[in-house]
Structure 1
C-alpha cells in the first residue's frame, strides 16, 4: 500500500512542476518568445540543424538524457532508505532538473545552438570556455565508454534483448524516411511501437549471442567494438534519418513501459519492504550527505542534460516556447522513471520481507539494474498477467535502448565539441565531421581497450569520477544560465539557489572521493579529480568577477538615472 502513496506524492509534485513552476520560469524568467528565429531555421543544414516537431524532439531529448542512469542511480541510492531517495527525485525534478534542462536549451537557442562550453565564453569569458570544455569532454568520454560496456553486458546477460534492440534501428530508419515524406506522425508512432513490441515478444524466444571468443576478443569486447562502429556511423547521419525517429520510438516505448509499471502499482498495491531510512548499513558505507546527491543524478539533476540540451536539442527547436515542452517535460519524464524504479526496488516484488531485502542490498552498489529488472518484471507480471520472462525482456530492452540512444547522442556531441575546438582554434582538420567523429570514437576505444585491456572495460576505471564531475558540470551550467540572466537584468535566484546547493554537494563529494583515491593509491583518479575540482573553482571565480562587475555597472546606472 505504501507504494501508492509514493506514486501519488510523485505524480502530484510533477503536475505542479509542469503546470505551475515551469510555466512561471518560461514566461516570467526566461521570457521565451516565439518571434525569435531559432538556429534550426536560421542555420538549417538538413543534417544537424533541422526544425523538428516538438513531440518528436521531446522523444529525442528525453531518451538521450535518460540512458540507464535514472534506473541505476535510484536503484543504488535506495540503500540509504527510500524516503531520502524519493524526496530528492521529486524535488530535484521540479526545482533543479527541469529548470537546468530548459534553461540550457533556451540559452543555447539564443546563441545559435552553441554548446554550454562554447556559450560560456560569450557569457563569462575566454578562459572559462577552455576550462568548461575540458569538463564537458571528460563527462562525454566517461558516458560513451561506460555505456558501451553497459549495453555489451546487457547483451551478454540478456541475449533475448539483442533482436529487439537492433530491430529498433531498422524501424527508426523506415519511420525517418516516411516522416520526411510527410506521412502523419500518429499512425507511424502506433505502427512503430507495435513492431518494436512484436520484436520484444519474438526476441524473448530467440536469444542471440556472439561466440565467447572471436578475433582474440571476448563476446563483450566484440559487442563494444560493434557498438562504437554503429555509433560513429549514426552520429554522421542527418538527425531526421535515424536519431530523431529512433529516439522518438524509444520515448514512446518508455511511455508504454511507464504505463505498465505505474498501472501495475495501482492494481497490485504492493507494500514497501525497504526501510524508510536504512539503519543497518555496513561499517564502511559513505555518508548519505553528500553522496546521495551525486548517486542520483539523472532523475534529479544532471550535467549531462545540459550537454544534450545545448548540443543536439537546441539545433532542432522549431520555436522557442517548445523549449519548455522539450526541456522541462523531458526532465519530468526522467523523474517519473526514477520514481517507479524506486518503487520496483523497494517493494515486495523484489523482496517479500525486510530481511530478504537486506540480503539483496547487502552493501552500497548491490541491486542496481538487476534489482530493477527483477522487481519491475514481477510487478508487471502480477499486475497485467504478462509472463515474467517477457516482462523481463521488455525492461532489459528498455535499458539497452536508453543506453544506446544516449551513446548515439554522446558520440555526436563529442563530434560537435571537437568541431567547435576546430572553429575556436582555426584548425580546419578538426572541422571535418568524419575526422572529428573518428577522433571521438578513437578516444573512447583508447580508453576502453587501452586502460581496460582486451575486456574493453577501461571506461569503468574512471567511472567512479562521474558522479561528482557530472554534478559539478550541472552547477556550472546553472551558473552560466544565471550570469546570462543577470546580464539581461532578470532575476537569477531560481537558478543560483539550485546551482549553489548542487555545487556544494558535488564539490564535497569530490573531496571525499579524492581522499578515498589517495588512500587507495589510485593516482589516475587522484589526478583527474584534482583537475575537475580546480577547474570548477576557476570557473566559479571567473563567473563571480563577472557578476560583481555587472552588479557595479547596474548600481552605477541606477545612480546616474
Structure 2
C-alpha cells in the first residue's frame, strides 16, 4: 500500500472535521459569542493575561501541546500494525481531541481563565477539586521531568541539533521585541524568523556541538538536563510576550513548514508501507492492543495535558471568544498531523518488512529514533536531501516540540502550586511557586537516577494518567453543558470511552507493578486510580442534578 493514500485520507478526514464538525460544535454546543469579554481583556496584567493575535496564540498552543509524545506514542504503537494506530489518530483527533481541547479553552474563558483543576471546584465541589489537582500535579511532574530527559538524549545523540535548538531562543526574543515593543506586523518577522531558523539548522549540521565527557562533575546528559530546567524556570517567570508567545509562534511556523516538507517528500517518493496493517506476528511480551493502544497513543489522538494548556495559559491570552475554535480545535488538528507523519515515517521509512521487524523486535522499540531515521530516508528519497541534514532537521523538530511543551509545563506546574497554596489559605508568589516546581522536578530527575534519568522512572504511568485526565476534563465540560441545558452527548461519548480504557489500563498496570515489585509505581497507580474514580463520581453526581438556570444565565452574560 502506498503511503500517499494514508496521507491523503488522514489529512482529508481531519480537514473535513475542522471545516464542518468544529463549526457545529462552536455554533450549536459551545455557542461562541464574539462580544464576550475574555479574561485576557478583563484581567489584563501584561504577564499572564495578554490579548493575543489568534495566529500567534495558535502557535503557542500548538507547540505547547505537541511535545515529544505525539511522535513517541505512534512510533511505539505501530508495533500492533499501522491500521489501529491510523484509525485512532485520525478519528481521535476529529471527535475526541478537538472537542476536548476546544472545550477546555471555552470553559476556562467563560470562567475568568481558571484552570481545569480550579473549575472542578466550582462545578463538582472541593473534594473533587483537591483530588483533581493531585492528578494534574503528578502528570505535570511526569511531563517536565521526562521531557528534559528526552531533549537531553537528543542533544547528545544528535549534536548537530544543538545550535538550532538554542539559537531558536534568540530568534524568539528578537521577534517578541519586534512585534510587541516596536509594533511590527506579523508578516516580515514571521518570514525572517523561519528563514533564520532553517539557516541555523544548516549551520548546526556543519558545526555539531559535542560536550566533553565531564562538565562540573556532570556527564553531558546530566549537564543538559540542568541547563534545560534552569532555562525553563527563567522562561516561566518572564511575561508571556517576551519569550513564550514568540518562541512558540515562530517554532509553530517552522515546525509546520517541516511537516510540509516531510509530506512533500512522501508525495514525491511515493513510498510503500512495509509494515503490516494488523501485525499478527507480535514479539514476545507485547501487551494486548486493548486497552494499551489507547493510552500508548495519547497526544495525537487525545491528551489530558492539552486541557491543562488550554485552561492554564491559552485561555488567558485569547483575544476573542470566537478565536477559540481556530486555536483549540485546529491546534488539535496540528498535533494529529504530526502523529500521522510519525506513523508514515515509522512504517514507510524502511526498505523492507525485515528491516522494520528488526527495529520493532520488542514492545517499546521504535520511538523518536524510528521517526528520525524513517523520516530521514523519506527526505533523502523524495527530495534528495543530504542524509545528515534530514536527521538534523527532524531531531530539531522533535526537540523544539518537547522544549516548548516543557516551557509551558513548568509555568502550569507553578500555577498548580499557587492554586494549592490558595486552597491551603496562603499566597505563593510567582518566584516561590517556580522554585518549588523546579525543586520537585529536579529531585525526581536526580534523586531517582544519578545521571538525571530519574525523570523516566514514573513514565510508565504517563499514558494512563494523561488519558484519565482527559476523561476528567471532559467530565467538567459535560457538567457545565448540562447545567446550561445544552446537548452534552458530544462530550459524554468520548468521556465514557476514555474512562473505561484508562481505568482498564491502570488495573492492568497494577498487576504488572505488583509482579515486578515496583512499589513506587504501584503506590502512585493506586493513588491516581482512587482520585480519578472519586472525581468521576463527584462529576456524575453533579450531572444528575441537571440544568441550573442561575448558572446558565450567569454564563450567558458577556
Q: TM-score surpassing 0.5? A: yes
Residue 195 of structure 2 corresponds to residue 199 of structure 1: no
**Structure 1 partner of 2:419:** 420
* Matched pairs, number: 549
Alignment of 1:105-504 (within 5 A): 105-180=105-180, 181-347=182-348, 349=349, 351-428=350-427, 430=428, 432-453=429-450, 455-504=451-500
3-state DSSP class of the match of 2:457?
Answer: helix
Distance in 2 separating the partners of 1:433 and 1:209: 35
Q: Which runs of 5+ in 2 are unaligned?
A: 551-558
Q: Deviations over 1:324-364 (max 9, x none)?
A: 000000000100010011011101x3x21112211111111
Q: Deviations over 1:7-34 (max 9, x none)?
A: 1110111111100000000110000111
Distance in 1 separating the partners of 2:44 and 2:486: 30
**Structure 2 partner of 1:76:** 76
Distance in 2 separating the partners of 1:552 and 1:264: 54
Residue 3 of structure 2 corresponds to residue 3 of structure 1: yes
**Structure 1 partner of 2:58:** 58
Q: Deviations over 1:11-61 (max 9, x none)?
A: 111111100000000110000111110000000000000000000000000
Distance in 1 separating the partners of 2:211 and 2:47: 34
Shift of residue 553, structure 1, vs aligned partner: 9.7
**Structure 1 partner of 2:511:** 515
3-state DSSP class of the match of 2:55?
Answer: helix
Distance in 1 separating the partners of 2:47 and 2:212: 37
Question: How large is the RMSD of aligned CA atoms in angstroms?
Answer: 1.2
Distance in 1 separating the partners of 2:28 and 2:336: 24
The answer to which of 18-27 and 359-368 deviates more is: 359-368
**Structure 2 partner of 1:559:** none
3-state DSSP class of the match of 2:545?
Answer: helix
3-state DSSP class of the match of 2:321?
Answer: coil
Task: Tell whether the 8 Å contact from 2:156 to 2:220 is kept in structure 1 after alignment.
Answer: yes
Q: Deviations over 1:62-118 (max 9, x none)?
A: 000001111100000000000000000000000000000000000000111111000
Distance in 2 separating the partners of 1:356 and 1:174: 45
**Structure 2 partner of 1:558:** none
Shift of residue 541, structure 1, vs aligned partner: 1.1
Task: Tell whether the 8 Å contact from 2:285 to 2:362 is kept in structure 1 after alignment.
Answer: no
3-state DSSP class of the match of 2:546?
Answer: helix
TM-score norm. by structure 2 comes to: 0.97
Shift of residue 551, structure 1, vs aligned partner: 6.4
Shift of residue 237, structure 1, vs aligned partner: 0.3
Alignment of 1:543-554 (within 5 A): 543-550=539-546
Task: Tell whether the 8 Å contact from 2:141 to 2:441 is kept in structure 1 after alignment.
Answer: yes
Shift of residue 141, structure 1, vs aligned partner: 0.4
Shift of residue 546, structure 1, vs aligned partner: 1.3
Task: Tell whether the 8 Å contact from 2:152 to 2:225 is kept in structure 1 after alignment.
Answer: yes
Q: Deviations over 1:402-440 (max 9, x none)?
A: 111001000100111111222232212x1x100000000
TM-score norm. by structure 1 comes to: 0.97
